[in-house]
Amino acid sequence: MLECLFVMSIPSAVASAAEVQTTEDGKFTYTCNYYDETATIHEYLGEETVVTFPSEVDGCKVTAISNINTSGVKCVIADPSMKEKITKIVIPDTVKVIADGAFRDLTALETVKMPSKIEEVGGFVFFNCSSLKKISFPSTLKKFSGSYMTGLFGDCTELEEVSFAKNTKITEIPANTFRGCTSLKKVTLPNKIKRINKCAFYECNELQTINFPNTLEVLEEYAFKNCFKLTNIKIGSKITELGKSAFANTGIKKVTIPKNVILKGNVFYGCANLKSAVISKGVSMGRGEFEDCVKLEKVTIKSGVTGISNEVFKGTALKTVVIPNTVKYIGSDAFKDCSKLVKVFILGDDVRMGGFTAGTKVRLYGYKNSTVQTYAKQVGVRFKALTTVKSLKAKNSAKGKVKLTWKKVSGVKTYTIYRSTSKNGTYKKIGTTKKLSFTDKKAKKGKTYYYRIVIDYEDSTGVKLTGVKSSSVKIKVKK
């Protein structure tokens, strides 16, 4: 699997020019900095299955655990045979730094007592500790260090629960941190997390729910891909980016994408249980965002979305879609293989069209003489004109006043009047009425205006349509 490779980097070992010494009991090697009276433990030489690290050696407080060998990501357990025997590690509260790979490949390790004042934990520290079941971090933790691609708990296949104290200071979860933790069920994320990096929870098969703090801004590619049991997510309002395939092949059932989020492609690809989605104002979609979400029946696209990219809804179970007038383009194959799709209402009159196939059951609803109608005719797709206000007329009723009249539209209770100084310019709302006429009392004498009436209504099957506009009418105000 190339998308989430583990990369073993040169470790962030705690450097020391001091002479390596051995404790009196012969169990640990260490170096001391006698200037500030601190020490680093480098190796465990003993044979006990429960390893308790000392808090002090040679009058120096132990503040770090780091293999002195910087030629690779090395475990601090010297005897390779002990990696299959050690079941518990106790780290004193004096330790602030645990460097890269310190306890990696301890396959029998079940319990770790983390120090209460830990500040930094390196990459691959617990990598492949396949018997570890539970671990917690105190509020003093400031960062997970190591290279970008390091996996702190990668392939800890029995790990079930990870918790962080409420005020833990770390702001990001590094790449591959929990990749392959196939038993992970519960994670309580710190409340200051801003970024979850690539493949952080990749293939956490048992993970069912996760709390995204309101501080989260970026969720990188493949972050939760193949988390098949992940059903409940709530994406906070500060999120700005969801990376490629971030939730692909998960079990989520519904999702609301907040305003102005950038989707990087295939974000929800293959989510077989996803039934509904809300795409908020300003969301930018990449290719295939909901492709092969075979149960996706309902999607709400909010006004302010400007485009629907290629293959976005390919292979879904959508039946009816309303596309707001802010959408300027529909990409190729956007609705390909949507065998249940029968109605698509397109409320823009100048949309660059694509995405539909001749011979399907779908009918496009759009404005008469719009690009939608032209496209439908070219491709061979059914078309029906939207219901709009008809017979809109404007006349001068008095100096500086324009009276508008129109015919009633069945089911419409309120009519909203818009005005512009040019036919294809910006139309501004000037009033609403429940009548079939409206007088513009603020028109300027001698000026030319264009008016249109906008309505909201339900079609015969109960589909709600908003912002359906009439053709414009032109008039010059009498002086």
pLDDT of residue 4: 76
- Is 80 exceeded by the pLDDT of residue 73? no
**Using one digit for the tens of pLDDT, what is the confidence trace for 173-209?**
999 999 999 999 989 888 899 999 999 999 999 999 8
Q: Give the pTM.
A: 0.90
| Mean predicted confidence (pLDDT) in 159-164 | 94
Please give the span between the terminal C-alpha atoms of the chain, in angstroms, as a whole number. 76
State how far the alpha carbon of 37 is from the alpha carbons of 17, 31, 56, 90, 479, in Å.
14, 11, 10, 22, 92
Over range 36-46, report the average pLDDT: 96
pLDDT in tens, 257-293: 999 999 999 999 999 999 999 999 999 999 999 999 9
Q: pLDDT category, 18, cuts 50, 70, 90? A: confident
Q: Is the pLDDT of residue 377 over 80?
A: yes
101 in the Ramachandran plot: left (φ > 0), alpha (ψ -120 to 50) or beta? left
Phi then psi for residue 97, to 5 deg, are -130, 130
Confidence of residue 149 (pLDDT cuts 50, 70, 90): low
244-258 per-position pLDDT tens digit: 999 999 999 999 999
H helix or E strand, kind and range, residue 379: helix 371-379
Give the pLDDT band of residue 166 (cuts 50, 70, 90). Answer: confident
For residues 294-313, average pLDDT: 97
pLDDT in the model for residue 145: 84
d(Cα 249, Cα 267) in Å, to the nearest integer? Answer: 9
Tell me the mean pLDDT in the region 297-318.
Answer: 97
pLDDT given for residue 10 in this prediction: 44
Residue 150 pLDDT: 72
pLDDT at 441 over 60: yes
Share of the chain above pLDDT 70, in %: 95
Lowest-pLDDT choice from 142-146, 220-224, 329-333, 389-393: 142-146
pLDDT band at 358 (very low <50, low <70, confident <90, very high): confident
Of 14-23, 281-290, 341-350, 357-366, where does mean pLDDT reach its minimum?
14-23
Residue 17 has pLDDT above 70, yes or no: no
Whole-angstrom Cα distance, residue 31 to residue 245? 46
Least confident of 64-73, 132-141, 342-351, 458-467: 64-73
pLDDT at 167: 87
3-state helix, strand, coil in the chain (%, to 5): 5, 30, 65
Average pLDDT over residues 150-165: 92
pLDDT at 3: 76
In this structure, are residues 440 and 401 in contact, taking their beta carbons and an 8 Å threshold? Answer: yes
